[in-house]
Amino acid sequence: MKKTHKSITCILCPLGCKIMTIRKKTGIRVSGQKCAKGKDYAIQELLNPTRVLTATIKIKEGVLPLLPVRTNLPILKDKIFECIRNLSRLEVKAPTKMGETILKNIADTGSDLISTRDMERVQCKQIM
Ligand code: SF4
């Protein structure tokens, strides 16, 4: 394995440490972080980057046309586009509650898609 260098900005707190990683046959060297969490973050970013996916999906009969959603766990970065393709075909019906599971195990990631707000059903006025 070739020796590779990669600079990573830690996003775990507002300090945003610039972390330098050096990957060699013998292992990974990490420097520049101000705490232990940064080292774990940099190694994970290098070997297995994950993200919480946030998006909106279509909702029928809601007071708004789109429902904001997110995954309840971080998912592998490589799976994000597959998840987004699934979301583009998804439509739910109002009402929904904040934290409600909208889709279980999205794209076999082990993460569920949840609603991030309440969405009431639009009230139709009766015409007399
Ligand atoms: S390494 Fe630690 S101090 Fe630096 S940004 Fe990450 S969490 Fe914050």
Q: What is the pLDDT of residues 7-18, one digit of tens each?
A: 999 999 999 999
In angstroms, rounded to a whole number, what is the distance separating the alpha carbons of residues 53 and 78? 12
Omega within 30 of 0 (cis) for the link into 95? yes
Q: How many angstroms is it from 40 CA to the middle of ligand 1?
A: 10
Owner of token pair 């969405």: 119
Q: Whose CA is nearest to atom 2 of ligand 1?
A: 35
pLDDT of 3: 83
Does 8 contact ligand 1 (Cβ within 6 A)?
no
Contact 101, 113 (CB under 8 A): yes
Q: Which tens digit of pLDDT belongs to each residue from 54-108?
A: 999 999 999 999 999 999 999 999 999 999 999 999 999 999 999 999 999 999 9
Question: Pairing state of beta strands 113-115 and 66-71?
Answer: antiparallel
Q: Which tens digit of pLDDT belongs to each residue from 31-41?
A: 999 999 999 99
Q: Which domains does the chain have, with CATH numbers?
A: 4-48 (no CATH), 54-115 (3.10.530.10)
Of 8, 9, 13, the one to substitute when testing ligand 1's pocket (max ligand atoms within 8 A of C-beta) is 13
